[in-house]
Amino acid sequence: MNGVHDMGGMQDMGPIQAEQHEPVFHETWEARVFALRRAMGAWRKWNIDASRYAVELVPPTDYLRMSYYERQFTAFLDMLVQHKFVTHAELESGVPAPGTPIATPALTIEKAHMLVAKGVPTKRDLHIAPRFQVGQRIQTRNINPLGHTRLPRYARAKSGTIESDYGVFVFPDTNAEFLGENPQHLYSVRFSARELWGKQAPAKDSVYLNLWDAYLEPA
Amino acid sequence: MTTTRRDFLTATAATAGAAMTPDLTHAHQHEHEHQVVPSDPALRVKALESLLVEKGLVDRAALDALIDAYEHKIGPRNGARVVARAWADPAYKQRLLSDADAAIAELGYGGMQGEHMVVVENTPKVHNLVVCTLCSCYPWPVLGLPPVWYKSAPYRSRSVIDPRGILGEFGLQIPENVEVRVWDSTAEIRYLVLPERPAGAEHLTEEQLASLVTRDSMIGVGNATFPEKAST
């Protein structure tokens, strides 16, 4: 989806505002949102790509106005309702619906420590032939899908070079919409700054993106 | 108490998929003018947490453990130790550049949002800069959670089109003959910049070296320097 989240290359967003001695969380509620999302993620009803897609679906004017954690909270509520963890009626009443069985939390304290230490790898140990070789010139596809994609607009229909092959990874475009992991090779692809931004860009500079087989065509 | 919680969650439901704005809060207030509707996200989040706990969906102790990990245990000091080891031990540096996951694990680090790490090296000819234009991907096990500016629209948007301008805003002037490489974290690969060891640091212990490594230098928006040089 060509949404406001895909902001690479925009120029009117203002100066960087770096805070000295910034706390990890500015407010307690931000920390709770951070933890609640991971704790509910442990039910495995969604995946990291689906949770990113949910944030992208926050309406654009809200997306730009909200803080990072406000966006995360808004998207989280949508996911909780969509996956039937809570109903609108429960959100309105503030209490579980009468007769609701009480679940056992998916994320225990032990599993929380495990999650922090191990994460959720998305590399797949599968023998799938790569479509491209290191050093090969490629062209990115000109795609404009309505769903989730990790091919930013600024890098579509551009020529680049395969710099490395990271192996086989889950493909976000299908995984985000629960259409399968569709594992395939993921590459580091180098684009010259001039290819992306024109000849006013410094000649030596470059941008590297991580791109999957499905985004690429031979040059 | 129940009445108050209902208010929080009604406000929550009204704003799901929309903004937590004063406007929406006021609109809601018109429907219940006899009640004080909280606009504070703190109250909404607290109410949601209570509901999820009552349904048995989350365990508060697990939430506390997650928060504690990123507030107190995992942060840029981890990355600084990795960098210092690489400066002090050429063999370690080679392992770090060729298989970052294994080399970082040697120091006991790894895990969520750093499952697949790559380290990129700054040299006199190359300066690296890490961004995530599409969301806010960041190598948590070595740097902790990202600062607000890293997640902000100005950084996400301009890093790829004007990295030298962005670096200038951080006080770094990159000479024309140095190649700037921007790493847009569009997948689950997480990047750590290995900054150049500052001149004059050859005699320092690994611990002393680690103290020269700033968070910003491992994102690529700063250099590792002696503190007195940083302040001038």
Q: Do A103 and B57 touch (CB under 8 A)?
A: yes
Interface of B with A in 133-192 (CB under 8 A): 133-136, 141, 144-145, 147-149, 151-164, 166, 169-170, 176-189
CA nearest neighbour of B82 among B165, B139, B42:
B139
Q: Residue B40: its pLDDT value, please?
A: 85
Round the CA-based radius of gyration of chain B to a whole number and report it: 22
Tell me which residue in B116, B147, B151 faces A123 most closely, judged by beta carbons: B116
Partnered with residue B127 across adjacent β-strands are: B180
Closest by CA to A154, choosing from A207, A116, A76, is: A207
The yes-or-no verdict on residue A219 having pLDDT over 80 is: yes
Bridge-based pairing state of the strands A184-192 and B179-184: unpaired
Token readout for B116 is: 């697949």
ipTM of the complex model: 0.97
Catalytic residue among B39, B50, B136, B211: B136
Residue A10 to residues A62, A196, B129, B154, B161, Cα–Cα distance (Å): 18, 13, 17, 8, 8
Same domain? A109 vs A143 = no
Confidence of residue A93 (pLDDT cuts 50, 70, 90): confident
Question: Residue B2: is it exposed, middle or buried by C-beta count within 10 angstroms (0-12/13-18/19+)?
Answer: exposed
Q: Is residue A131 part of a domain?
A: no
Q: Is the pLDDT score of A175 beyond 70?
A: yes
On whether residue A15 sits in a domain, the answer given is no
With cut-offs at 50, 70 and 90, classify the pLDDT of residue B73: very high
CA dihedral B109, B112, B113, B119 (to 10 degrees): 20
| Domain shared by A62 and A94, yes or no | yes
Q: Does B55 touch chain A (CB under 8 A)?
A: yes
Helix (H, G, I), strand (E, B) or coil at B202: coil
Average pLDDT over residues B4-17: 42
The edge-to-edge listing of strands for the beta sheet with A206-212 is A216-218, A137-140, A159-169, A184-192, A206-212, B179-184, B126-131
Catalytic residue list contains B135: yes
Q: Are residues A59 and A89 in the same domain?
A: yes
pLDDT at position B39, please? 58
The residue segments making up the domain with residue A177 are 137-218
Closest chain A C-alpha to B67 CA, distance in angstroms: 6
- Say which residue, B77 or B202, is predicted with more confidence: B77
* % of chain A with per-residue pLDDT over 90: 98
C-alpha to C-alpha distance for B14 and A62, rounded to whole angstroms: 14
Chain B's closest residue to A31, CA to CA, is B67
User: What pLDDT, on a 0 to 100 scale, did the predictor assign at position B19?
Assistant: 38
pLDDT surpassing 80 at residue A182 = yes
What pLDDT band is residue A91 in, cutting at 50, 70 and 90?
confident
Q: Is B128 within 8 Å of B220 (Cβ atoms)? A: yes
At a CB cut-off of 8 Å and minimum separation 6, what does A56 contact? A1, A3, A5, A148
pLDDT at A94: 82
Cα A206 to the center of its chain, rounded Å? 23
Do A102 and A170 have their domain in common?
no
User: What is the DSSP pairing of strand A137-140 with strand A159-169?
Assistant: antiparallel
Q: Which two tokens stand for residue B13?
A: 């439901």
How many alpha carbons fall within 13 Å on the CB side of residue A42? 25
**Are residue A193 and residue A149 in the same domain, yes or no?**
yes
Residue to mutate among A12, A17, A22, A24, with most B CBs inside 10 A, is: A24
Q: Which of A83, A87, A103 is nearest to A95 (CA)?
A: A87
* Average pLDDT of every residue of chain B: 86
pLDDT number for residue B21: 37
Q: What is the pLDDT of residue B5?
A: 41
Mean pLDDT value across residues A31-43: 98
- In order, the DSSP letters of A47-107 are -HHHHHHHHHTS-HHHHHHS-HHHHHHHHHHHHHHHTTSS-HHHHHHSSPPTTPPPP--SS
At B112, is the pLDDT very low, low, confident or very high (cuts 50, 70, 90)? very high
Give the fold, CATH level 3, of B74-230: Nitrile Hydratase; Chain A (3.90.330)
Q: Which chain A positions have a beta carbon within 8 Å of B177's beta carbon?
A: 204
Is B157 catalytic? The answer is no
Chain A interface test: which of B24, B145, B161, B186 (most A C-beta within 10 Å) = B186
In a domain, A16, yes or no: no
Residue B231: active-site member: no
How close does chain B come to A173, measured CA to CA in Å?
11
Q: Report the CATH number that the domain containing residue A38 is assigned in CATH.
A: 1.10.472.20
In a domain, A127, yes or no: no
The reported pLDDT for the residue numbered A155 is 98
For residue A92, the model assigns a pLDDT of 82
Residue-level pLDDT at B6: 40
* Residue that is written with structure tokens 């349904």 in the block: B55
Q: In this structure, how many other beta carbons lie within 10 angstroms of the beta carbon of residue A74?
A: 26
Q: Tell me if residue B185 is catalytic.
A: no
Predicted confidence (pLDDT) at residue B193 exceeds the cutoff of 50: yes
The mean pLDDT of A36-59, rounded to a whole number, is: 98
CATH code: domain of residue A174: 2.30.30.50
Indicate the average pLDDT of chain A.
Answer: 97
Closest CA to B190 of B104, B125, B123: B104
Instruction: Give the span between the Cα atoms of B204 and B131, in whole angstroms.
Output: 31
pLDDT band (50, 70, 90) for residue B175? very high
Mean pLDDT of B159-176: 98
pLDDT digits (tens, 9 = 90+) for B19-55: 333 333 333 333 333 334 445 899 999 999 999 999 9
Interval A127-168: pLDDT, tens: 999 999 999 999 999 999 999 999 999 999 999 999 999 999
pTM score of the predicted model: 0.91
CB contact under 8 A, B63 and A39: yes
3-state secondary structure of A163: strand
Same domain for A99 and A48 = yes
- Is residue A63 domain-shared with residue A108, that is, in the same domain? yes
CB contact under 8 A, A33 and B45: yes
Residue A126 counted as domain residue: no
The domain ranges of chain B are 2-58, 74-230
C-alpha to C-alpha distance for A176 and B4, rounded to whole angstroms? 36
Spatial separation of the C-alpha atoms in residues A10 and B110, rounded to whole Å:
33
Q: Are residues A145 and A195 in the same domain?
A: yes
Number of domains within chain A = 2
SS3 category, A125: coil
The answer to the question of residue A23 being in a domain is no
A157 and A214: one domain?
Answer: yes
A178 shares a domain with A102? no
- Decide: B170 and B193 in contact? Cβ < 8 Å: no
> Are both A43 and A95 inside the same structural domain?
yes
pLDDT-derived band of residue B81, with 50, 70 and 90 as boundaries? very high
Give just the sign of the alpha carbon dihedral B110, B114, B116, B120.
Answer: negative
* Per-residue pLDDT, B24: 37
Minimum CA–CA partner of B19 in chain A: A62
pLDDT of residue A128: 97
Question: What is the predicted pLDDT for the residue at B229?
Answer: 53
Q: Do the Cβ atoms of A24 and B189 come within 8 Å?
A: no
Distance CA A141, CA B18 (A): 33
pLDDT, residue B20, reads: 39
Over residues A73-79, mean pLDDT: 96
Q: Closest partner residue to A11 among B10, B42, B158, by Cβ? A: B158
